[in-house]
A and B are shown apart, each in its own frame.
Chain A
Amino acid sequence: MPTAIEFDNIGKQYRLGLVSTQTLSHDLNRWWAVNVRHKEDPYLKIGSVNDRSTAADSEYVWALQNISFKVEQGSVVGIIGRNGAGKSTLLKLLSKVTGPTVGTIRARGRIGSLLEVGTGFHPEMTGRENVYMNGAILGMTKPEIARKLDEIVDFSGCEWYIDTPVKRYSSGMKVRLGFAVAAHLDPEILVVDEVLAVGDAEFQKKAIGKMQDVSKGEGRTVLFVSHNMTSVKALCQRAVILKNGLLVDDGDVDTIVTHYLRGDNDVDNHKVWETPAIGKDGFHLLEIGIRRKGADYTDVMRMDQEIELLMRYRLDRPMEKFWITLHMKNEQGNKIFSFSGGNRCYDKRHDAGEYEQICYIPANFLNWGNFAIDFMAFEQVNNIKVIANESDLISFTVSNRQVPIGGYMGREPGDVRTCFEFKERKLQ
């Protein structure tokens, strides 16, 4: 397969702060160095890596640095990374909205970029006029748009309102019309930024399906930026991870998404203590971890797989009544439910020694998303005594199950997503 796009050592530097007299002095300095003394731009040598956790030590920051990779013709590549990792900057460079500071991008064929849907829509003009406007902005010619107009209008589902000014449209209709135009672009290379995150479930289905047709059926090259790992997995064969403006990982989509979910979400699903740290009065937690049943701690947990929660602890003295209670919390920190081994080992006398408890969370119980667990241990002599209490002791991510193309890629509401049995029978 020939190469469709080649990124060659791309870098993009931004200046932080406000435009001021200092900017002017830097500009003059740069002009002096480059044009009069014929030297390198002095401000290109400095500039810090784009890491938001630390304050930049320079006024200049590299939003992207040393980006080199090739995209083969007809492949669909996902670009993933946290907010501010440089994904959108990369797409902006490719769509020529702004130029790179260093490096070269080479491409074969027309590039159609979709950084936003409905760019250039004018509220006073009708839907039809805006289809022409938007199409022309995206690089289509008038006859091209005229030929596809019916298809576009049909796809958007706005037939009845097509001669109404767009200012009377609902925001959803605007988005649908905008996407419909974009979906009927015919470039060899399509650059898409998160546009699938808009619209209702039904429209998302349509949009993803259309994207799939574009890449599979028509052999176009697609670069796709998204936070939705489910749609990245469904659409892309390959993915790259950007982190702080650097390309840190590149490979087939399943591996990369796994790496991303593991490494990038501050997930801490396994802890071991060599010296006693959690617990008091003779109770010491030694290890706690959550994983897919029978798998490694580094593996991805999917919502349709059974999960096991393992705890290892030591009792320095015998305890008459002892139990562990856990609180499951969602990403917002709300407690979803409490669960406890108490009912099973409450009455059992515990000798001193090391113990292990495993709790099994069934498949198809937790929805996909991020979760955290609070840990508590109790002993009852006369009153109930807390012997360990630790908030957010571990956290973990459950990922979506494989969704076929056309399936809903968003998240169903709620933190629990069960698969109850439904029985249907015909009455009449």
Chain B
Amino acid sequence: MQDEHWDIVIQPKDRLLSVDFKEIWRYRDLFALFVKRNIVVQYKQTILGPLWYIIQPALTVLMYMVVFGGIAGIPTDGVPQPLFYLAGVCMWQYFSDCLNSTANTFAANAGMFGKVYFPRIVTPLSDVTSNLLRFSIQFLLFVAVYVYYVASGQSIAPNAYALLFPLLVLMLAGLALGFGMIISSMTTKYRDLRILFSFIVQLWMYGTPIVYPLSQVAGRKVAGMDLHLLMSLNPVTPVIETFKYGCLDAGTFIGWHWLAYSFLFMVVLLAFGLVVFNKVQKSFMDTV
């Protein structure tokens, strides 16, 4: 008699929540190699190399200073404009980088996915991780500007909330990964969504307090709804606001309840994204 034990069972449909974490763990070396590849490949055959990571936010900040600080005259909670914008740009850049790369997972890797199986989730995970390099370089720029202002006598200092920094970065990564997985799963078949998505990310930035402080929207109403509340519902807002408050000690803390909301949002999003991603990865080769 044969025993009925099978190591692998391939079926049309899995149970909804059958994410094989053990399998993902087995591929941790692949994850590390993907991260390394993403980083190494970005530098190759460029003269300025990682310097580009600094030039880009520097120019962006300069532009914001002219348009939002100069022309529109939006106040920055008493923080020097370059520092204020840089804080927002660094964080947002990381979020949107992660979102863009994870949202493209299936389309960008179709060639490889079509030939060999490994847990597809390894790819977006490694994207999010390798983007940390770029983020840390830009964060160093932020620190440098920070030190410059402190040295030149500005009264800015971080407060205790700055200790939340690692958690905040993690939340950005989690939110981007969650959204990215959902978007990449949906765009395999209907590419309309990809076009829609690329400009939604652009608009999203303006719905997040990057170029203005959240304190500026307090009390304002749009179509009878409280704008402050609406903006806080954006899960990225509490993360950015807490970061700015902690590092620059300007404005007021948005509140633990909003941070908790954001965190919960991330958890639910990740769980949902994982389920959708897992479902799509089985058959996406037929539709991509």
Contacts and interface: CB of A to CB of B under 8 A. Distances in A.
B189 A23 contact: yes
Interface stretch (B9-17, B95-103, B248-256): B9-17
Interface in A107-164: 107-111, 113, 115-116, 119-120, 122, 124-125, 129, 132-133, 136-142
A116 B115 contact: yes
Contact of B5 (A27, A108, A113): A108
B33 A100 contact: no
B56 interface: no
5 contacts: A92-B114, A96-B282, A99-B13, A124-B40, A140-B29
Contacts of A3: 2
Contact of B10 (A93, A129, A133): A93
A129 B38 CA distance: 13
Given A124-B40, A125-B37, A100 B113 contact: no
A167 to B, nearest CB: 10
Interface of B: 2, 5-13, 26-27, 29-30, 32-33, 37, 40-41, 44-45, 112-118, 189-191, 282-287
A99 B115 contact: no
Contacts of B8: 105-109, 111
Given A99-B10, A102-B12, A132-B33, A2 B41 contact: no
Contacts of A105: 8-11
A139 B41 contact: no
A115 B30 CA distance: 19
Given A23-B189, A97-B285, A100-B11, A115 B115 contact: yes
B27 A125 contact: no
A124 B41 contact: yes
Interface of A: 2-3, 6, 14-15, 19, 23-24, 27, 92-111, 113, 115-116, 119-120, 122, 124-125, 129, 132-133, 136-142
Q: Pick the most buried of B27, B32, B37: most chain A CB atoms within 10 A of its CB.
A: B37
Given A122-B37, A133-B33, A139 B7 contact: no
Q: Which of B7, B32, B190 has the most CB of A within 10 A?
A: B7
A133 B35 CA distance: 11
Contacts of B29: 136, 140-142
A236 B6 CA distance: 24
Given A19-B189, A124-B40, A136 B10 contact: no
Contacts of B117: 95-97, 113
A2 to B, nearest CB: 6
Contacts of A107: 6-10
A166 to B, nearest CB: 12
Contacts, number: 111
B10 A100 contact: yes
B189 A97 contact: no
Looking at chain B's contact residues, the main secondary structure is loop
Given A119-B115, A129-B40, 17 more contacts: A3-B2, A19-B191, A97-B285, A99-B10, A104-B9, A104-B11, A105-B11, A109-B8, A113-B116, A119-B112, A119-B116, A122-B41, A124-B41, A124-B44, A125-B37, A125-B40, A136-B33
Contact of B9 (A14, A106, A115): A106
Contacts of B282: 96, 98-99
Contact of A24 (B11, B118, B190): B190
Contacts of A115: 115-116
Contact of A97 (B26, B45, B116): B116
Contacts of A94: 10
Nearest to A143: B29
| Shortest beta-carbon contacts, A-B, top 9 | A99-B282, A96-B117, A136-B30, A105-B10, A106-B6, A142-B29, A107-B8, A98-B285, A116-B115
Nearest to B37: A122
A120 B113 CA distance: 9
A138 B27 CA distance: 10
Given A101-B12, A124-B41, A108 B115 contact: no
A328 to B, nearest CB: 42
B262 to A, nearest CB: 31
Nearest to B45: A124
A19 B287 contact: yes
B283 A98 contact: yes
Contact of B112 (A2, A95, A104, A120): A120
Contacts of A27: 189
Contacts of A15: 286
A407 B84 CA distance: 72
A227 to B, nearest CB: 19
A23 B287 CA distance: 11
Nearest to A132: B33
Contacts of A100: 10-12
Given A19-B190, A99-B282, A122-B41, A137 B118 contact: yes
Nearest to A99: B282
B9 A137 contact: no
